[in-house]
Structures are given as structure tokens and as C-alpha cells.
Amino acid sequence: MRILVAEDDHTLGQQIRAALAEEGRAVDLVTDGSEAEYLGVNEPYDLVVLDIGLPEKDGISVLKEWRRNKVDTPVLILTARDGWSERVDGLDAGADDYMTKPFHMPELSARIRAMLRRQAGKADPVFQRGPVVFDSRTNKVLNNGMPVSLTAQELSVLSYLFHNAGRMVSRNELSDHIYEYDGDRDSNTIAVFINRLRKKLGKDLILSARGQGYQINLD
């Protein structure tokens, strides 16, 4: 899953990026509102963490511009502890959730996981198809009750497919959502990750259709 973090505090931004990357997220970090607005309109993110007090263009203005451009990506805003009016403005502008600074990183991660599940229309943090179990809280994967070791890329592909279960996902879409903005996005490598997942989790878990892509087998 790919996340945009817009935070002008360098230390905090790097801490958020590191915490989310450790969970297997592809994270793009920007420090001003203008760049955040551009990327939010032109890149396919699964979620945005948006600081209200950005330079060049404030977070509320950025969010309003996204919503005017029909960008419906879930947005979690960050505000100062006494910024209750900013929280109200942010929610009214189209934010989905908020956190006040300072905050504990595990809570931010938990809120992000919950938002991603809501976006997928799923309340349960545990995804299961047949003998395969994927716990989105811990990124642990079991097959027939036994833990399975996955690379970061394999885990990202599996997570995205589970969060989008019920529809076909193209190679290009998968590539867009598991690599960062400046990453080497080669859609041809997606087939390699899919083959590895099938070997580790069973060939029937992921269906494919030539020229269309892949999806979790719901039968």
C-alpha cells in the first residue's frame, strides 16, 4: 500500500516514514503544500497523512483542492494540540480522520490500518481465504497454520490484493501502489512476485487473466 506523507518537520516526517516503511508501506515524503497537492492529484495513493501547517500552501487548502479535483483518497490530518478549529475545518474540507501532535506512532499506524480497511469495506483486520491468513496489524501470514516468510515486495502485493479483493488488479496498478515515487517501477516484476506468492501460499490463491491482471480467488 502506498502512502503520501506531507510534513514539514523533518524529524517527525522521517519518523513517520520509517514507521510506515517498517510495516511494508511504500512512502513518499514531501515537506511543502505545493508538492503535496501536485502528487496527490497525479499519483495513485492509498492514503495521505497531511500536516495542516505546511509552507507554501497550507494543508486545508491542499485538501480542498484535492476534493475539487475529485481525489477521494483517504486523508488523515495532523494538527497542533490546541488546533480544534483546524480539525473542524479539515474534517469539513474532506478529511477522514485526524491526530493531534504530539502523538504515539503506534496509534498513527493503527489509525492508518483502520482507514485502509474502511476503504476496502472490511472491519476485520484479519484477511483469510482458505488456509491462508493475513493479519494486517502485524503483517504475519499463515498457510495451513504455519508462518510464511515473505519479502517486503511479496507482502506489499499480497496486502494490496487482499484490500482490493473482488476485483481484477492490473500489473501497472500493482506497480503504482507498491513502489515509491522515485522507485524503479517495473510492472514486469509483478509477475515474479505473483509466482513466488503462489509457490508459498498455493497456486489457487491468486487468479490471473491475460491482459487484465490478478485478483484473490474468492471461490
Q: Which three cell numbers stand for residue 18?
A: 520509517
User: Would you say residue 90 has pLDDT above 70?
Assistant: yes
pLDDT at 157: 95
User: Of 91, 120, 149, which residue constitutes the final position of a domain?
Assistant: 120
Which of 82 and 23 is assigned the larger pLDDT?
23
What b/e readout covers 98-117, taking b as 16+ CB neighbours within 10 angstroms? bbeeeeeeeebbebbbbbbb
Indicate the number of domains in the chain: 2
Domain match, 198 and 152 both: yes
Domain match, 183 and 110 both: no
What value does the mean pLDDT take over residues 188-201? Answer: 93
What value does the mean pLDDT take over residues 135-141? Answer: 94
Alpha carbon distance 17, 12 (integer Å):
9
**Tens-place pLDDT, residues 44-88:** 999 999 999 999 999 999 999 999 999 999 999 999 877 788 889
Mean pLDDT of the chain: 93
Q: What separation in angstroms does the CA of 219 have from each of 42, 90, 130, 142, 146?
A: 35, 41, 9, 19, 22
Alpha carbon distance 41, 154 (integer Å):
27
Confidence of residue 5 (pLDDT cuts 50, 70, 90): very high
Which domain, by its residues, includes 10? 2-120
pLDDT at 125: 92
The CATH number of whichever domain residue 97 belongs to comes to 3.40.50.2300
Neighbours of 55 (CB within 10 A): 10
pLDDT at 183: 61
pLDDT at 29: 97
pLDDT at 184: 64
Domain match, 132 and 94 both: no
Which of 5 and 86 is assigned the larger pLDDT?
5
Domain match, 158 and 110 both: no
pTM for the model: 0.89
User: Would you say residue 188 has pLDDT above 80?
Assistant: no
**Tens-place pLDDT, residues 149-161:** 999 899 999 999 9
Domain match, 108 and 6 both: yes
Alpha carbon distance 175, 195 (integer Å):
15
